[in-house]
Amino acid sequence: MSNPLPLRFWLVSLLLCLSRLALAQPPGGPTVVSPQVHPDNTVTFRYLAPNAKDVKLNAQFEKSPLPMTKDAQGVWSVTTGPVKPDMYPYSFQVDGISVADPRNPAIFPNEGFQNSLVDITGTTPLVHTIRNVPHGTVSYRYYTSPELGQRPVVVYTPPGYETDTKTAYPVLYLLHGTTDLEETWTKVGRANIILDNLIAEGKAKPMIIVMPYGRAYPVISKSSGSLRNWDNLQAFKKDFLGNLMPFVEQNYRVKKDKDSRAIAGFSGGGGETLYLGLNNPDLFSWVCGFAPGMLKEEFDRNNATAFANPAQTNQRLKLFWIGVGKEDMLYPVINDYLKVLDEKKIKHETLISDGGHTWMNCKLYLSTIAQKLFQ
């Protein structure tokens, strides 16, 4: 019979276990729940910062920052609302510095700022509310660009894509705004959930959605401004047509005729959308801009093909659609653009909504055009 292990061994083992348990424990301090959505659509936000002198809530449903109050444990809080049901970005302003909510895993993907997201569903499901319906698949993929390296792209395939292996689908290329990322359309715009719901209701055709990264980085600097700037348009066009589209058509069962291709985008990505869609009528029959970025002095240059022959443009496009909010900073220039389209007799549909340059409007615009595409 072997000798029992020495007491010193057991003590060392016990100390190691205790140290690992200590490391695994959450940090000390009070438990903080944030955000907390109440049944009446009011929302309480909380932030633990015992040493902070001033904390405010910045939320897109508020016109100005809301002061927060600190309790004895150092937790700052404010309750606001009732808030109109939707999904909104927000952040905390802590002694003048903007920070995301550390207690909330729902983050707004963006290169220019970091906000958190609060989803206020209300009593009636919204078009972007996750429901008990068949769900499609969201895939994170990479494709290769000789000039730009490994490029990220998020791809949505509709319910049934994996089981029905013979069906080919129409494809929507969906572009994000300046400083957004390839994830923003699913994480903030809820593109996959919107399509799941509309397809389940028979209101939208099953389609594949391709959501690429919209800046031609590293050839184009991340500090170079809007995605619709000319240099980015040229580099992005080369990558889009030469690398992204071939990758999609080689790896997914997409229909390859122009009537089965749509392109849409928000803000700077909306500027990219109009430039690519209107100047390549042999590739896209459906072109939709969501508060598209533009400058008046760029109208003729960026719309050269469409403006050169309006009658042919009308014949080639099945849908040319523009949406913008009345309070959007781009509303005046987009209104001028719509007047030019009228003068040239280029057919288009418009939706002038309430609100500003927001992803709340993006969800509205996507849910609107999704019911029109490929019909």
Write out residues in the chain with pLDDT < 50, as ranges.
Answer: 1-5, 9-10, 12, 14-26
Residues 352/330, Cβ–Cβ less than 8 Å:
no
Helix (H, G, I), strand (E, B) or coil at 169: strand
- Which pLDDT does position 29 carry in this prediction? 75
3-state helix, strand, coil in the chain (%, to 5): 30, 25, 45
- Which pLDDT does position 344 carry in this prediction? 97
Nearest to 369 by CA among 351, 356, 352: 351
Q: Residues 149-203: pLDDT tens digits?
A: 999 999 999 999 999 999 999 999 999 999 999 999 999 999 999 999 999 999 9
- Which pLDDT does position 127 carry in this prediction? 95
Alpha-carbon distances of 320 from 203, 216, 315, 351, rounded to whole Å: 19, 26, 11, 12
**What are 90's strand-pairing partners?**
59, 116
- Which pLDDT does position 234 carry in this prediction? 97
- By DSSP bridging, strand 286-290 and strand 319-325 are parallel
296: Cα separation from own chain's centroid = 26
What pTM was estimated for this model as a whole? 0.91
